[in-house]
Amino acid sequence: MVVNLRHLEARNIRLEGKVSAAELDIESLDEVIQVTQPLEHDLEVQQLEDGLLVQGSLLLYLECHCVRCLKPFQHRLELDGWACHLPLEGEDCVVPVNDCVDLTPYVREDILLEFPRHPLCDPECRGLPGTSIGKSQKSSGSGQTGADLSAWAELNKLKL
Ligand SMILES: [Zn+2]
């Protein structure tokens, strides 16, 4: 997802296609979410006075495991009407390399924000009674669910 600024001087650039999970570096960030399919994108890049405006849609299918019952399911992550402003001047501006700007890190960042924090096959999922997960919940007696534990694990990761 590279934009050549020289091409952009003449007209807007359309970027359409697929980017692999490996290129986005989002393959194995979470033990309950796997990314096996490429990200589909359809973006239009426009040059503004002080930067670039990127608008369009992003679509990615995530292979999730329910944190309560461990059932695999597919999560459709779609950002329709996604927009991103990349300043070319001032603080925190984007620095082009050989007149090119790579959009990948900005797309990656916003895609990651949309990952489910603790994926559930169904919002009402109660887990599997009688499994080790169910038993450990009962014996702990603290009322913590698997989802809560997963959320804490996420918070711990963030602190690092
Ligand atoms: Zn479930």
Q: Determine the distance separating the centroid of ligand 1 and the alpha carbon of 69, expressed in angstroms.
A: 4
In this prediction, residue 91 carries a pLDDT of 86
- Beta pairing partners, 87: 51
In this prediction, residue 31 carries a pLDDT of 83
The residue written with tokens 């570096």 in the block is 25
Pairing of strands 33-34, 39-47: unpaired
| Cβ-contact 145, 139 below 8 angstroms | no
Q: Determine the distance separating the centroid of ligand 1 and the alpha carbon of 158, expressed in angstroms.
A: 25
Which residues lie below 8 Å from residue 75, measured CB to CB, with a gap of 6+? Answer: 33, 61, 62, 64, 116, 119
In this prediction, residue 137 carries a pLDDT of 46
Return the CA Rg of the chain.
Answer: 20
Q: What is the spatial distance between Cα 42 and Cα 44, in angstroms, rounded to a whole number?
A: 7
Q: Tell me the pLDDT of the chain (160 aa) as tens digits.
A: 999 999 999 999 999 999 999 999 988 777 889 999 999 999 999 999 889 999 999 999 999 999 999 999 999 999 999 999 999 998 889 999 999 999 999 999 999 999 998 999 999 999 987 655 444 444 444 455 566 666 666 666 665 5
Q: Determine the distance separating the centroid of ligand 1 and the alpha carbon of 151, expressed in angstroms.
A: 15
Q: Determine the distance separating the centroid of ligand 1 and the alpha carbon of 9, expressed in angstroms.
A: 51
In this prediction, residue 80 carries a pLDDT of 95
Q: Determine the distance separating the centroid of ligand 1 and the alpha carbon of 79, expressed in angstroms.
A: 24
In this prediction, residue 142 carries a pLDDT of 47
Q: Determine the distance separating the centroid of ligand 1 and the alpha carbon of 53, expressed in angstroms.
A: 40
Q: What is the spatial distance between Cα 96 and Cα 100, in angstroms, rounded to a whole number?
A: 5
In this prediction, residue 141 carries a pLDDT of 45
